[in-house]
Chains A and B, each alone.
Chain A
């Protein structure tokens, strides 16, 4: 058999219930936080026109796109992230929408990256976009990101904050030619400080000290004062001012302990225009979230210039950082035999209506096998119905407790379910 028949494409996998339940649990917890902040879900197509996705994106990310050609010859692509599709949607459907928009999503995105642990080619992202927001927007994005991560149960985590205006301000003063600015940013972004030093020596930049200082500009609120001293242009000073402003909001919401400032932080996507951030947790070698402000993107899609800020969380990575396991929440198993099937289904119907999670099984296993099956699903009770001649609803059932492995007879009168399950 060809290996392509049995295997998932590289970097992709099927998630069995244990993992999938964990993802759902994480999703539910984060959803609650997003809802608390007034974010509403939006769903966009998995496929977009390639040209559309490229809007606001850098050339060198292009090879990460999955591309397809449709029968009309259009190039389509699987979305590699959600901000661009949402920006497109907002411009496309602007008549039906009014600002400010608080939109959230839970969506798979696809990147043709080299697959490794924690780096899948299909990435489940949860995130939000705050479009047409106010000056508080930056802080709102950061706080919701912190609250979302906290809600999953991750305790030891930090967000690194930067404002791209700081570096822009420094660079604007330097006599850089052509690609030099891009190169410098590349070295900084990769934190290749050896390469950075060598490059600065190579191009003979006199003001190299200020760039060489950037990697050291990292730390708590004190670092903002150091950055302020280094800032020699209006743009750089404004960036520091903005970060101070954001920090004050974070203090008021009492989440300031979760952030650091890192002035050499650069994000891969080049549509960012202001504050940017990345989150990471101890003992996991990858970032778990990232985002920032993108005030030009809506305009690039043909809309009016609109301030916007957003972030995404990687659900698989968050799951890697968490110990808890996804658990089934089956309350019981109802057994049916040829003779009791009508009564069993009526009983199951009654329980389903009352929001109990009940699975129905044929009574063709041994008692031990049944208990084993129930344990796998975390089902506390196995219910069987005594065979009677009457096809009416059962009056009496036998309830087997799967932990104590003892059985008792239960008469079906008002409120019996509460007695059996204690809920």
Chain B
């Protein structure tokens, strides 16, 4: 049976993802990934499967080009990447929402209050552009790589589009979410050719992972 190359998302999603893959039989139960190590490629000797540790935002690129057969990353990231990936399973972990948030002081409480040509900081320019284009609102998008909530504080932007799970960070920075753009959770994505050449192995994995949810 073909060996599988998996792109794993480094960071907070890593541990729960490993748990799921162990239950799905892709990783041996005693296999540990030393997250703190500098190694970026691991091989599970028993199964021969390999694992790449990638930034969540890079996972779609690895899978799209076939450098990894499958990958796990957030729906938000997949949508922002916007490319051909087969999205086979919702792992139902790492849930969060992508929201439009405004400073409390702006007094705006709904989408209708957003003025034309305002500036919006985000690390999701593609989704943000689509969202506003679909509503016919012209906005200026400023792409940032992180700490987006800082932008309105220093008047780099009027509003932000960012992910939030508990809402704490937004609140700490006096930002109020006024519209949900999308909700997201971790997805299992598959390269379009691997889906065919390793079809049996991959559907097995999916069925096993899918069953975990139902047993719980």
A260 contact set on B, CB distance < 8 A:
196
B203 interface residue (CB < 8 Å to A): yes
B199 contact set on A, CB distance < 8 A:
218-219
Q: Which residue of A lies closest to B200 (CB)?
A: A219
B 38-65 binary contact with A (CB < 8 Å = 1; else 0): 0000000000000000000000000011
A158 contact set on B, CB distance < 8 A:
196-197
A362 interface residue (CB < 8 Å to B): no
B94 interface residue (CB < 8 Å to A): no
Given known pairs A193-B89, A216-B203, A285-B191, the reply for A262 and B196 (CB within 8 Å) is yes
A372 interface residue (CB < 8 Å to B): no
Identify the stretch in B14-22, B80-88, B103-111 within 8 Å (CB) of chain A at 4 or more residues: B80-88
* Chain A interface size, under 10 / 10 to 19 / 20 to 34 / 35 or more: 20 to 34
Q: Are B194 and A285 in contact (CB under 8 A)?
A: yes
Interface residues of chain A: helix, strand, loop or mixed (majority): mixed
Contacting B84 at CB < 8 Å: which of A117, A190, A281, A284?
Answer: A190
Once the chains are docked, how many angstroms separate the CA of A280 from the CA of B197?
9
Once the chains are docked, how many angstroms separate the CA of A260 from the CA of B197?
10
Q: Which residue of A lies closest to B75 (CB)?
A: A194
Shortest C-beta distance, B69 to chain A (Å), equals 9
Q: Are A194 and B89 in contact (CB under 8 A)?
A: yes
Shortest C-beta distance, A418 to chain B (Å), equals 48
Q: Are B89 and A284 in contact (CB under 8 A)?
A: no
Once the chains are docked, how many angstroms separate the CA of A158 from the CA of B196?
9
Shortest C-beta distance, A349 to chain B (Å), equals 50
Contacting A117 at CB < 8 Å: which of B65, B193, B196?
Answer: B65
Once the chains are docked, how many angstroms separate the CA of A283 from the CA of B203?
19
- Candidate in A118, A191, A281, A283 with the most chain B CB atoms within 10 angstroms: A191
Q: Are B86 and A284 in contact (CB under 8 A)?
A: no
Once the chains are docked, how many angstroms separate the CA of A262 from the CA of B86?
14
Contacting A280 at CB < 8 Å: which of B83, B89, B196?
Answer: B196
B88 contact set on A, CB distance < 8 A:
191, 193-194
Q: Which residue of B lies closest to A117 (CB)?
A: B65
Q: Are A287 and B197 in contact (CB under 8 A)?
A: no
B194 contact set on A, CB distance < 8 A:
285
Q: Are A284 and B66 in contact (CB under 8 A)?
A: yes
- Contacts of A111-135 to chain B: CB distance below 8 A: 114, 116-118
Q: Are A191 and B86 in contact (CB under 8 A)?
A: yes
A140 interface residue (CB < 8 Å to B): no
Shortest C-beta distance, B194 to chain A (Å), equals 7
Shortest C-beta distance, A318 to chain B (Å), equals 14
A 251-288 binary contact with B (CB < 8 Å = 1; else 0): 00000000010100000000000000000111111110
Q: Are A285 and B89 in contact (CB under 8 A)?
A: no
- Candidate in B64, B86, B196, B197 with the most chain A CB atoms within 10 angstroms: B196
Q: How many A-B residue pairs have CB under 8 A?
A: 59
Q: Are A283 and B66 in contact (CB under 8 A)?
A: yes
Q: Are A287 and B193 in contact (CB under 8 A)?
A: yes
Once the chains are docked, how many angstroms separate the CA of A116 from the CA of B190?
18
Q: Are B197 and A194 in contact (CB under 8 A)?
A: no
Q: Are B196 and A284 in contact (CB under 8 A)?
A: no
Shortest C-beta distance, B115 to chain A (Å), equals 29
B192 interface residue (CB < 8 Å to A): yes
Q: Are B89 and A191 in contact (CB under 8 A)?
A: no
A138 interface residue (CB < 8 Å to B): no
Once the chains are docked, how many angstroms separate the CA of A285 from the CA of B88?
17
Once the chains are docked, how many angstroms separate the CA of A118 from the CA of B192?
14
Shortest C-beta distance, B149 to chain A (Å), equals 29
Q: Are B87 and A192 in contact (CB under 8 A)?
A: yes
Shortest C-beta distance, B197 to chain A (Å), equals 5
Contacting A191 at CB < 8 Å: which of B66, B67, B90, B192?
Answer: B192
Shortest C-beta distance, A370 to chain B (Å), equals 43
Once the chains are docked, how many angstroms separate the CA of A160 from the CA of B86?
16
A195 interface residue (CB < 8 Å to B): yes
Q: Are B196 and A191 in contact (CB under 8 A)?
A: no
A195 contact set on B, CB distance < 8 A:
87
Shortest C-beta distance, B184 to chain A (Å), equals 11
Q: Which residue of A lies closest to B199 (CB)?
A: A218
Q: Are B90 and A287 in contact (CB under 8 A)?
A: no
Contacting A285 at CB < 8 Å: which of B64, B87, B187?
Answer: B64
Once the chains are docked, how many angstroms separate the CA of A192 from the CA of B88?
6
A 234-262 binary contact with B (CB < 8 Å = 1; else 0): 00000000000000000000000000101
A283 contact set on B, CB distance < 8 A:
66
Q: Are B87 and A193 in contact (CB under 8 A)?
A: yes
Given known pairs A194-B187, A216-B203, A280-B197, the reply for A287 and B192 (CB within 8 Å) is yes
B89 contact set on A, CB distance < 8 A:
193-194
Some 29 contacts from A to B, beta carbons below 8 A apart, are A114-B83, A116-B65, A117-B65, A160-B196, A190-B86, A191-B88, A191-B192, A191-B195, A193-B87, A194-B75, A194-B90, A197-B90, A216-B203, A219-B199, A260-B196, A262-B196, A280-B193, A280-B196, A281-B193, A282-B197, A285-B66, A285-B67, A285-B191, A285-B193, A286-B66, A286-B192, A286-B193, A287-B192, A287-B193
9 closest residue pairs by CB, A with B: A285-B66, A191-B86, A280-B193, A192-B87, A194-B90, A194-B87, A282-B197, A285-B191, A193-B88
**B interface residues (Cβ-Cβ under 8 A, vs A):** 64-67, 75, 83-84, 86-90, 187, 190-197, 199, 203
With A193-B86, A194-B87, A194-B90 known, 17 other A-B pairs at CB within 8 A are A116-B64, A117-B65, A160-B196, A190-B87, A191-B190, A191-B192, A193-B87, A193-B88, A194-B75, A194-B187, A218-B199, A280-B196, A283-B66, A284-B66, A285-B66, A285-B193, A287-B193
